[in-house]
Structures are given as C-alpha cells and as structure tokens.
Amino acid sequence: MHSRNTGTAAGQFGPVDACDDCGMTLSVPRVSVVVAAFLATSMLVFVPTSAATNTADPVPTARSLAGVTASLNPYVAGFQSPTAVAAAQDGRGRLFVAERAGVIRVVKSGKRYKTPYLNIKSKVGSSSGEQGLLGLAFSPGFKRNGTLFVTYTAKNGALVLARAKAKKPGKNKVPKSSVKTVLTVPHPDATNHNGGSLAFGSDGLLYLGTGDGGGGGDPQRRAQRLTSPLGKILRLNVNKSCGKKRYCVPAKNTYRKAPSSTKRLVFANGLRNPWKISIDRATGNLWVADVGQGKYEEVNVVSPAQRTVNFGWSCKEGPAGFNNDQCGNLAGYVAPVATLCHEGEVAGCSAPLIGKSIIGGHVYRGRSNLSLVGAYVFADFITGRVFAYRDGQTRQLASLGYVTSFGESEEGELFAVTYSGTLYRLG
C-alpha cells in the first residue's frame, strides 16, 4: 500500500454539517485521468506516533554509526496486514496494532488480545490499491480523556480523519459508536498515495500526512498547490480549546488567515506519499519519509517551529529535478537529510543504500541498544533493508522483509510490523 503512481484537482473545505457524526469535508472536483501502469509497488504508507514525554538521552547522540547493528526479534504474530503501531503513553504498558481491514488490536507483555480494541471494518474501504485503516495516534491526554485518532479510506476512496473515545482509558475495547469524523479529504481518482500517517507533536497539535492523490508524476500538480490538501502535512488543533468544534486552525500555522480554509491547515507541502511521519520525543523534530517516483526515496526532518516548509515534490525527487513546471516557487524548501537510490536508475547506485519504497520510523530513544540512541531508524518495504541515520551518516542495520510500519513503546523501544503479520522488537 505504498505504490508509486496516480493523481486529482484541488479543493476547498465544505461547510460543517450539523450532524454529530460529521466533520469538515474537502470538496475536490472530479477529474478524469488516464493512469499509466503502476511502477513498482511500494506497499503501505502508514503509521502514526503519539507524543511522548521527553526523556534524556542516556548517551550523547553525535557519534559515528560505524559498527552499529541491531536485531529484530519476533514478538507477537497473527496480525492481518498490519499498517500502524502506537502506544497510548498511559502507563499501562500496552501497544496497539492497526490492521488494514479496519481493526485495532491490543498487545501487552508479548500477548495479542483476541478481542479487537476497535473494529471499524464497516466504515473502511480496503479492497483496492493502498486503501485501508492507515494511521493511529493517541491523544497526549489519553490517560485522562481516553481519546484516540485514526485515519482510513472510506468506501468512496476519501481519506478520513476520525476521533474515537474509550469509555474508560484503561478499557481494552473502544465502542464503534464513539467514532466521529473530524476531517475528510476527497481522493477520487486513484487508490494509492493516500498518506494517512498521524503524529502528535510536543506542542499538542496533530500532524497528518497526505499523499499527492496518486498517478505517476503528480499529474494534477497538487503537491505544490497550497489550496489542495493533497501532498501535504496538515496541522490541526484537536484539543478542548476548540470547544464544540472537531478541530480548529492552530495559531502558529503560517497560512492561518488565508482565504482558503484548506490552505490554513497546511504546515508543509511538496510531498508525494509520506509513509510515515513521527515526532522525536527528545527534540520535538518532525521526521518524514516520502516514497519516491523512480529514482529516490527520501528522509526529511524539520522543526515544527519552522514557518514555511516545502519538501520539493514534484519539482524535485530527492536531490534530482523532476517536474520543471513546478519549480516556480519553492519558498521554504527543505532538502532531504538522507536518500536511498533506485538501482539501475541512478548512476553509481549500489548496495546497501538502495531502496524502492521507504517506510518511515522513529528516532530511537530507548535503552536496549544504547549505540542507536539519537538515530532515526527506518526501512525499505521492497528490499527488506533496515537503516539508521544519524549526523549525516546512513547505515544498514539489519534485514526484515515487507516492513509496513514502526512504533514506539512507552519507554521509547522500537517495534516493527511486517505485512505478513508479525510484530518485531528492535534490540
């Protein structure tokens, strides 16, 4: 579910419906597009991260990665096409694994609970392309309010951000009736490049990554268009300070006073298919892995305090030029800190730093592998390589085929899931 092609036109937020189960909806005019055959698949582009309490590094982070390795040990099996992993940060030691069809399951002490934590299969469209339940993030105040957020593709293909609420935070089941739509992003022309990754920042705001809508090469030129919600990272305030509104526009958003209600939510533009995004619990920096077109996979990092952020697509793919007609205004351009190249497409591209479909991870802040502290751990879905990036260096750590997502435990230990259904712990 993170493939490399597909496309649509821009849109605006529609009016808020008065019903209790309705949120804001982006209305995107339907555009008929002939989509060329998909380039290599890049399976799922998913995973969210809830904000965690900052923890001090046990060791300095400005160190070489030379000689650093890691193990990925099976922890729990039996999941069905998992797409996201998250912890609630409520002191109960649970992990939560989202499955593509629309189910979230509880894991605790190496055991997968049989009863679903949340089952929204009836709401989720997951039969085509990269569609399904894509993102999961717990409110920073979950221990008190029992609120969590999910993203999924609806039956009509739209990307839906929804809120759910546990009757009691400690319960191992959330009623489907508590699920309320917060925001809908239409996605009418393709079944890939949905994005859907979620992360709460240390600022308490919710960050949502969206794909460019699909179709090779950003055919509708959405990623650089600030009035389109696609190919972006949107930033929303979903806290109590918004009163009865499902969300409000953060005061710190650069375009918060723009006439376009879509543009007001834009934190960053210029993304193809961000799969996944995460917040470093120690620094608050936002890390974004963006799936490439035909030459490069890229890793980006930016402080949420930065005003104008543009990751370059589709003017640029990694360090290379792509659509020249999209290079007119790259204000706030942020170059990738690391790239993987596509073998045979980039001169000099050779193992191990090759990839086909990047899977974003987290900056490691755990204690079971101190040599990795401060390193961003990520993977490539197709090649099965697991990498670490730190201080300008990228190194392969291990191999694990078809990783779809990473997640952090309450203590900052890293876990990975594979599309075949196993949760692994990094050591």
Q: What is the pLDDT of residue 62?
A: 55
- DSSP codes, 415-427: EEEETTS-EEEE-
Domain annotation covers residue 5: no
Sign of the dihedral through C-alpha 194, 273, 426, 207: negative
Contact 76, 405 (CB under 8 A): no
Q: Which pair of structure tokens corresponds to residue 272?
A: 């193809």
Domain annotation covers residue 158: yes
What letter would DSSP give residue 229? Answer: S
Domain annotation covers residue 2: no
Structure confidence by residue, pLDDT tens digits, 163-193 = 999 999 999 999 999 999 999 999 988 889 9
Q: What are the Cα distances from residue 42, in Å, to 49, 354, 374?
A: 21, 14, 27
Q: Domain count of the chain?
A: 1
CATH number of residue 51's parent domain: 2.120.10.30
Domain containing residue 207: 12-426
Contact 141, 147 (CB under 8 A): yes
Domain annotation covers residue 30: yes
Tokens 């079944």 appear where? 191
Structure confidence by residue, pLDDT tens digits, 34-93 = 222 222 333 333 333 333 344 444 444 458 999 999 999 999 999 999 999 999 999 999
Per-residue confidence band for 241, with pLDDT thresholds at 50, 70 and 90? confident
Domain annotation covers residue 40: yes
Domain annotation covers residue 330: yes
Per-residue confidence band for 32, with pLDDT thresholds at 50, 70 and 90? very low
By C-alpha distance, which of 38, 5, 79, 67 is closest to 402?
A: 79
Least confident among 30-34, 142-146, 152-156: 30-34
Within the chain, how many helices (H) and strands (E) appear? 1, 30
Domain annotation covers residue 4: no
Phi (first) and psi of residue 263, to 5 degrees: -60, -30
Domain annotation covers residue 351: yes
CA-to-CA distance for 220 and 238, rounded, in angstroms?
A: 30
Q: Per-residue pLDDT for 371 more than 80?
A: yes
If one counts every other C-beta atom within 10 angstroms of the C-beta of residue 351, the result is 9
Q: What is the pLDDT of residue 171?
A: 97
Helix (H, G, I), strand (E, B) or coil at 410: coil
